[in-house]
């Protein structure tokens, strides 16, 4: 660097290839380079912040979808549980009605009243031959 360069305010730095000095730059050129680097750093920071925002928004969207799916599964499970309880209640009511009308065990499945070997278990209940106990009493007297 000679005296003329110093008078103009130029700086000499080594070149990127390490072979001698890089071209001399004025103070205004250095200021412009520094400002450009600062601007690039600010842009990079803004891009990183925007990318972070986009990732957070995507994470939130995934979380919202997961919560909606969980609520849907919970509703479906509650409906299945309600249906199960209703079916159990219907079965209990059916059992009570069958017991009330004198049906038990396999007779419930067949839909026939309970009978004994003697031909009947009570008045108004059909026996083996389709006769009621009352009919049997009337015929025997």
pTM: 0.40
| Token pair in block for residue 67 | 């919560």
| Token pair in block for residue 63 | 């979380």
65 with 121, same domain?
no
As averages over each run of 10 residues, the pLDDT of the chain (141 residues) reads 51 55 79 94 97 97 96 96 94 89 62 53 53 56 51
User: Is 132 strand, coil or helix?
Assistant: strand
**Backbone φ, ψ for residue 14 (5° rounding):** -65, 145
Domain membership flag for residue 64: yes
Name the domain count of the chain. Answer: 2
95 with 122, same domain?
no
Domain membership flag for residue 30: yes
Domain membership flag for residue 117: yes
73 with 49, same domain?
yes
pLDDT of residue 99: 85
pLDDT of residue 23: 66
| Token pair in block for residue 99 | 């017991």
9 with 66, same domain?
yes
pLDDT of residue 17: 58
Domain membership flag for residue 105: no
pLDDT of residue 105: 56
pLDDT of residue 88: 94
33 with 89, same domain?
yes
Q: Which domain holds residue 63?
A: 3-100
86 with 117, same domain?
no
13 with 72, same domain?
yes
118 with 91, same domain?
no
Domain membership flag for residue 107: no
């Amino acid at each position: 660097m000679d005296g003329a360069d110093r008078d103009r305010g130029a700086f000499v730095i080594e070149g990127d290839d390490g072979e001698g000095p890089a071209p001399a730059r004025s103070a205004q050129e250095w200021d412009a380079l520094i400002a450009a680097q600062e601007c690039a750093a600010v842009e990079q920071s803004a891009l990183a912040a925007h990318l972070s925002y986009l990732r957070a928004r995507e994470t939130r969207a995934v979380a919202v979808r997961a919560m909606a799916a969980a609520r849907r599964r919970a509703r479906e499970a509650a409906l299945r549980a309600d249906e199960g309880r209703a079916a159990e209640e219907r079965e209990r009511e059916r059992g009570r009605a069958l017991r009330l009308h004198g049906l038990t065990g396999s007779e419930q499945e067949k839909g026939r009243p309970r009978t004994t070997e003697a031909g009947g278990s009570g008045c108004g209940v059909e026996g083996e031959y389709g006769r009621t106990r009352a009919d049997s009493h009337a015929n025997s007297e």
